[in-house]
């Protein structure tokens, strides 16, 4: 075993995580161990690229983000326990973060697997999408779901997921944006921006088209039930874009 790798493993074993900051430092060491292992095994039979993009997080939000957001008090009302109104880590959902040049590649521990992403999607549909009352709450509701769904789609892309799980998730994402384009159409622009919603819908449909094409190349697109429906949405959005260009 590489000496540096062995030293990092020893450090991790000997650490005591008393505070959240201690725990985050332990996670930093864990991630460094992973990156060092990948670096040392490049060129071997170990598929570093595939392993690096295979999600190992089994929660709706990875531990590092949960700890960091609790320290910084960056959580939403939907992530609070309904009885105690205190933060509940099991209800936290990964928020979207824009990629930057200085941002390290995520480790598998920060990425949710396909089944976990589907579980998160189903949780949002069942527990969040029908929870709003007043107009202002509808704005918060939309922004929360818009952000969390975008984070889910980002992780699908990062892991190159185009299987039937990814398709089911993307179809649900598209339906959400289609619903909002009608349901929130009368809201003021500070609560709902229809152009931004359309952009998210188009991005979602384009991602879905790539999944459909991948299945078509494998000669199993017949197994997908909703291709005609979502192909129609793609055509309608293309027509809408063409009409707006002419105006």
Mean pLDDT of 10-38: 86
Query: Do 148 and 178 belong to one domain?
Result: yes
Check residues 45 and 29 and name the one with the higher pLDDT: 29
The pair of structure tokens assigned to 36 is: 């060092």
Going 85 to 92 to 145 to 232, the CA torsion angle's sign is: negative
Residue 2 pLDDT > 60, yes or no?
A: yes
pLDDT for 64: 95
Domain boundary among 19, 36, 52: 52
In a shared domain, residues 211 and 229: yes
**Same-domain check for residues 15 and 66:** no
Instruction: Please tell me the predicted confidence (pLDDT) of residue 1.
Output: 59
Contacts of residue 172, defined as CB under 8 A and 6 or more positions apart, other chains included, come to 121, 125
Does residue 247 register a pLDDT over 70?
Answer: no
Same domain, 110 and 208: yes
- pLDDT value of residue 44: 64
Q: What is the pLDDT of residues 124-145, one digit of tens each?
A: 999 999 877 665 588 899 999 9
More confident residue, 203 or 138: 203
Higher pLDDT, 154 or 134: 154
Both 121 and 26 in one domain: the answer is: no
Same domain, 4 and 116: no
Do 230 and 208 form a contact (C-beta atoms < 8 A)?
yes
> What's the pLDDT score for residue 45?
58
* pTM of the full structure: 0.89
Indicate the number of domains in the chain: 2
CATH number of residue 172's parent domain: 1.25.40.990
User: Is pLDDT at 8 greater than 80 in this prediction?
Assistant: no
208 lies in the same domain as 121: yes
Would you say residue 170 has pLDDT above 80?
yes
For 25, residues 6+ apart whose C-beta sits below 8 A from its C-beta are 15, 17
47-56, 150-159, 192-201, range with the lowest pLDDT = 47-56
Taking 80 as the threshold, does the pLDDT of residue 7 lie above it? no
pLDDT computed for residue 213 by the predictor: 94
> What is the spatial distance between Cα 148 and Cα 144, in angstroms, rounded to a whole number?
6
Q: Which two tokens stand for residue 75?
A: 């959580």
39 pLDDT more than 50: yes
Same domain flag for 104 and 145: yes
- Same structural domain, 33 and 61: no
Mean pLDDT, rounded, for 215-240 = 89
- Note whether 17 and 111 are same-domain residues: no
- Looking at the fold, whether 15 and 126 belong to one and the same domain comes out as no
Task: Give the domain extent around 207.
Answer: 53-246
Highest mean pLDDT among 68-82, 91-105, 230-244: 68-82
Section 5-21 average pLDDT: 80
Do 12 and 113 fall into the same domain?
no
């Amino acid at each position: 075993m590489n000496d540096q790798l062995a030293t990092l493993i020893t450090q991790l074993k000997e650490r005591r995580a008393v505070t959240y900051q201690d725990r985050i430092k332990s996670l930093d060491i864990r991630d460094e161990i992973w990156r060092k292992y990948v670096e040392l095994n490049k060129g071997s039979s170990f598929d570093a690229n595939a392993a690096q993009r295979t999600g190992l997080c089994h929660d709706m939000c990875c531990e590092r983000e949960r700890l960091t957001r609790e320290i910084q008090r960056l959580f939403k009302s939907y992530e609070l326990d309904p009885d105690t109104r205190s933060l509940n880590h099991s209800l936290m959902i990964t928020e979207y973060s824009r990629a930057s040049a200085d941002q390290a590649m995520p480790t598998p521990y920060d990425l949710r697997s396909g089944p976990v992403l589907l579980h998160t999607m189903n949780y949002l549909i069942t527990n969040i999408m029908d929870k709003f009352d007043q107009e202002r709450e509808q704005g918060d509701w939309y922004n929360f779901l818009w952000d969390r769904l975008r984070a889910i789609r980002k992780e699908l892309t990062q892991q190159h997921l185009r299987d039937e799980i990814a398709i089911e998730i993307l179809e649900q994402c598209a339906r959400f944006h289609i619903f909002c384009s009608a349901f929130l159409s009368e809201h003021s622009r500070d609560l709902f921006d229809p152009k931004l919603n359309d952009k998210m819908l188009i991005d979602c449909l384009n991602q879905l088209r790539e999944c459909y094409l991948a299945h078509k190349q494998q000669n199993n697109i017949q197994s997908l039930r909703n291709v005609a429906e979502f192909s129609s949405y793609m055509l309608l959005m293309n027509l809408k874009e063409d009409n707006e260009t002419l105006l």
